[in-house]
C-alpha cells in the first residue's frame, strides 16, 4: 500500500486523507512542533533531549519535517545548530523556500524562551504520529480484509507485524546511505571496546564464547545432531547458564518435551539430583534440603517455556513478538525445527517437506532480524551419519531434509559424543580418552572462525559444562559413571594409594 496519495497536486499523508474523508482532523500538535523546533535552534541541550525520540516523519507539518531533517543532519555532522546554520543547511538542500524562508525560522525561535519541558513536548508529538500511523495501518488492514484472495492467516501475520513495529518504535524506513551506516558501525565498535565482557549474549561455555563473542543479535544458529547426542541437554544447560548466571531472559519453545519435563531436567542439572530420583520422588532428607535451596535460583530465572505441539512458524512469530515486547526476551530457542509446520492453520502445508523446511528456515532468519535477537533452532541429522564407515563426526551434508538450513543460518554447529558409538578415544594424535565428553563442532560461521570445542558431559544429569583444562578425562569419566552421592577415591581413579599427601590432579 502506498503511504501517500496525490491530493490537488500535493503529496498528503494517508492518515490525513482518511481523517478528512471521515470529516475529522488527523491527530496533531502543531503548537508543540513549533515549540520543539524553536527550542532546538536556541538551546543545544534541547537537541540532546529529543534527537533520539523524534524522526522527521513524526512531524505533521511538511515544513517542520524539513526543518527537523536539517537540524538532524547538522547534529550527525557534529556541527553547531542555530538559526543561521539551520537556514544555511536548508539552503544547501534546496528546501529553504519550501519551509517559508528565514522569516518562518525567525518566527519559530521567537515563540519560545528556553528548552524547558522539550522532552515532554517531543513525546506528545510522537504520540500523535503513532496515532496517525495506526489510522493508516488500520485502513490497510480493513482494505486487505475485503480482498478474498488474501489468506486470513497471512493477513493476521501482516497486521501483527505492523503493530509490533509501532510498539517497538521500529517503523519501516527507507534505505540508509553508507555514511550513516559507517557511523553506526563505528559507534557499535566503540561501545564494544568500552564494555566489559562479550559483544553478544554469553552462553556460559568459555571456549564457545571466545569463538563467537557470545550469540549475536539477528543471527540464526542451527545446532544439529543425531538422536541421543544431547541436543536438548545442551540447550537446557545453555539456557540455565544464560538466565541464572547472566540474567538474560530466554524463550524456549519445546515441541518434543512438555514444559514440566523440561523444567525437571533443568532442576536436575541445577541441583545435582538425577532425573530418575526426581521422577520417583525418593529423596533423602539432605537431598530435599539440597533441592529446596538450589531450586530457588531456577524459580527466579527469566526462562519462558512454551510446549505447544506442532507449532507453526506463524504462531511462533506471534508468540516471540509478545515475549520480546512483554518480557524483554533476549534469545529464542526452538527444540526442534523438524517438528514445526509452515502452515498458518492446521492442515495447511507448504508443498513437499523439503520446501516446508526451507520456508521455516527462511522465516526463522527473518524473525531473528525483525526482533534483533539470536534465534537457535535444533535440527535432526540424516541417517547417513550412522551408515558412514569410519568417523561418525557429522558433516554439513548430513543436515536433514533441506540445504536451505545451511544457506539461511549464520552458524551451523553439531554435537558429537564418540562414546555413543562405543568409541573410547578421540581421533586425535594423542588418542585422548573421550568418555564423559562431547564435542561442539562449529562447521559454518558466517562472521568468524571454525572450531571443534570439547565439553564435559555429565550423563546422569544430562548436563554439558566446560571441560576443565588439565583435568584428567580418565578421572572425569569415572566421576561421571557414579552418582553424586558416591565417593571415588584416588586409588580407584588412578590405581594409586592415598598416602594423605596432595592428589595429582
Report the CATH number at residue 336: 3.40.50.300
Q: Give the model's pLDDT for residue 23.
A: 62
From 119, 160, 256, 354, the catalytic residue: 256
Nearest 5°: the CA angle 483, 485, 490 is 80
Is the distance from CB of 108 to CB of 67 less than 8 angstroms? yes
Do residue 162 and residue 206 come from a single domain? Answer: no
Rg for the chain, CA atoms, rounded: 29
Residues 65 and 204 occupy one common structural domain: no
HSE-CB for 431 with a 13 A CA cutoff: 2
- H or E segment at 107? helix 101-110
**Cell reading at 232:** 536438548
155 and 289 assigned to the same domain? no
- Both 206 and 124 in a single domain? no
Check: CB of residue 295 under 8 Å from CB of residue 267: yes
**Cell numbers at 166, concatenated:** 509501532
Separation between Cα atoms, residue 238 and residue 247, nearest integer Å: 12
**Rounded Cα gap, residues 290 and 300, in angstroms:** 17
- Quote the cell numbers at residue 194: 568500552
206 near 467, Cβ under 8 Å? no
Residue 348 lies in a domain: yes
In-domain check, residue 471: no
Q: Residue 32's pLDDT is what?
A: 93
The pLDDT of residue 504 is 33
The verdict on residue 270 lying in a domain is yes
Residue 183 inside a domain? The answer is: no
> Rounded CA gap, 248 and 303, in Å?
9
Q: 145: domain range? A: 4-168
Closest by CA to 160, choosing from 16, 320, 27, is 320
- 282 and 366 belong to one structural domain: yes
On whether both 224 and 371 belong to a single domain, the answer is: yes
Active site residue 256: yes
- What does the pLDDT read at residue 179? 67
Please state the φ and ψ torsions of residue 435, each to the nearest 5 degrees. Answer: -65, 140
pLDDT at position 197 is: 60
**137 and 212 inside one domain:** no
CATH number, residue 58:
1.10.860.10
3-class secondary-structure state, position 402: coil
Contact 318, 347 (CB under 8 A): no
CA angle 410, 415, 420 (to 5 degrees): 165
Residues 228, 155 share a domain = no
Domain count, the chain: 2
Residue 499 lies in a domain: no
94 is a domain residue: yes
Tens of pLDDT, residues 33-71: 999 999 989 888 888 788 878 888 899 999 999 999 999
Give the predicted TM-score (pTM) of the model: 0.64
DSSP H/E element including 223: strand 220-225
Local confidence pLDDT in tens for the 505 residues of the chain: 344 443 333 444 655 565 555 667 889 999 999 999 999 898 888 887 888 788 888 999 999 999 999 998 888 777 888 899 999 999 999 999 999 899 999 999 888 888 888 888 999 999 899 899 888 888 888 988 988 888 888 888 788 778 877 766 655 455 556 766 677 777 766 766 666 566 788 888 988 988 988 899 999 999 998 888 888 889 999 998 899 888 899 999 988 888 888 888 888 888 878 777 777 777 778 878 878 887 888 888 898 988 888 888 877 887 888 888 888 899 999 988 888 887 643 344 445 777 888 888 888 998 898 889 999 999 888 887 777 777 788 888 877 666 778 888 899 999 988 888 888 888 777 778 888 888 899 989 988 888 888 898 888 888 888 887 544 444 444 444 544 444 444 344 444 444 444 333 2
Any residues with CB less than 8 A from the CB of 201 and at least 6 apart, and which? 214, 215, 242, 246, 248, 330, 331, 374
Amino acid at each position: 500500500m502506498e503511504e501517500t496519495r496525490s491530493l490537488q497536486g500535493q503529496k498528503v499523508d494517508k492518515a490525513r486523507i482518511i481523517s478528512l474523508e471521515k470529516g475529522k482532523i488527523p491527530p496533531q500538535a502543531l503548537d508543540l512542533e513549533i515549540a520543539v523546533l524553536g527550542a532546538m535552534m536556541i538551546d543545544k541541550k534541547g537537541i540532546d533531549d529529543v534527537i533520539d525520540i523524534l524522526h522527521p516523519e513524526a512531524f505533521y507539518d511538511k515544513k517542520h519535517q524539513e526543518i527537523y531533517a536539517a537540524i538532524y543532519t547538522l547534529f550527525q555532522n557534529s556541527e553547531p545548530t542555530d538559526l543561521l546554520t539551520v537556514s544555511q543547511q536548508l539552503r544547501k538542500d534546496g528546501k529553504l523556500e519550501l519551509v517559508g524562508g528565514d522569516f518562518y525560522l525567525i518566527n519559530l525561535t521567537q515563540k519560545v524562551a528556553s528548552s524547558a519541558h522539550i522532552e515532554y513536548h517531543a513525546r506528545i508529538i510522537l504520540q500523535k504520529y503513532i496515532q496517525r500511523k495506526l489510522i493508516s495501518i488500520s485502513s490497510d488492514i480493513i482494505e486487505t480484509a475485503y480482498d478474498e484472495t488474501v489468506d486470513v492467516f497471512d493477513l493476521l501475520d501482516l497486521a501483527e507485524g505492523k503493530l509490533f513495529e509501532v510498539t517497538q518504535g521500529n517503523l519501516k524506513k527507507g534505505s540508509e546511505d553508507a555514511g550513516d551506516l559507517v557511523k553506526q558501525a563505528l559507534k557499535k565498535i566503540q561501545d564494544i571496546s568500552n564494555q566489559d565482557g562479550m559483544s553478544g549474549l554469553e552462553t556460559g561455555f568459555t571456549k564457545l564464547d571466545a569463538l563467537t563473542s557470545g550469540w549475536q543479535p539477528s543471527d540464526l544458529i542451527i545446532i544439529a545432531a543425531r538422536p541421543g547426542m544431547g541436543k536438548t541437554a545442551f540447550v537446557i544447560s545453555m539456557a540455565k547458564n544464560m538466565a541464572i548466571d547472566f540474567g538474560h531472559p530466554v524463550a524456549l519453545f519445546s515441541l518434543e518435551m512438555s514444559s514440566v519435563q523440561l523444567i525437571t531436567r533443568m532442576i536436575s542439572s541445577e541441583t545435582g539430583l538425577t532425573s530418575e530420583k526426581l521422577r520417583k520422588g525418593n529423596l533423602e532428607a539432605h537431598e530435599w534440603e539440597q533441592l529446596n535451596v538450589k531450586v530457588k535460583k531456577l524459580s527466579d530465572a527469566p526462562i519462558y517455556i512454551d510446549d505447544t505441539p506442532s507449532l507453526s512458524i506463524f504462531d511462533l512469530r506471534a508468540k516471540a513478538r509478545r515475549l520480546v515486547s512483554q518480557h524483554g526476551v533476549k534469545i529464542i530457542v526452538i527444540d526442534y525445527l523438524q517438528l514445526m509446520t509452515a502452515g498458518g492453520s492446521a492442515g495447511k502445508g507448504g508443498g513437499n517437506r523439503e520446501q516446508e523446511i526451507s520456508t521455516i528456515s527462511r522465516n526463522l532468519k527473518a524473525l531473528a532480524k525483525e526482533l534483533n535477537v539470536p534465534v537457535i533452532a535444533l535440527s535432526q541429522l540424516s541417517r547417513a551419519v550412522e551408515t558412514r564407515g569410519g568417523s561418525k563426526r557429522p558433516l554439513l551434508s548430513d543436515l536433514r531434509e533441506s540445504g536451505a538450513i545451511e544457506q539461511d543460518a549464520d552458524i551451523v554447529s553439531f554435537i558429537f559424543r564418540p562414546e555413543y558409538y562405543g568409541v573410547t578415544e578421540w581421533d586425535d594424535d594423542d588418542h585422548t580418552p573421550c568418555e564423559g565428553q562431547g564435542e561442539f563442532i562449529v562447521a559454518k560461521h558466517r562472521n568468524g572462525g571454525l572450531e571443534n570445542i570439547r565439553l564435559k558431559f555429565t550423563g546422569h544429569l544430562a548436563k554439558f559444562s566446560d571441560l576443565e583444562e588439565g583435568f584428567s578425562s580418565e578421572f572425569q569419566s569415572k566421576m561421571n559413571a557414579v552418582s553424586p552421592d558416591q565417593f571415588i577415591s584416588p586409588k580407584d581413579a588412578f590405581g594409586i594409594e592415598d598416602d594423605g599427601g596432595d592428589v595429582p590432579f
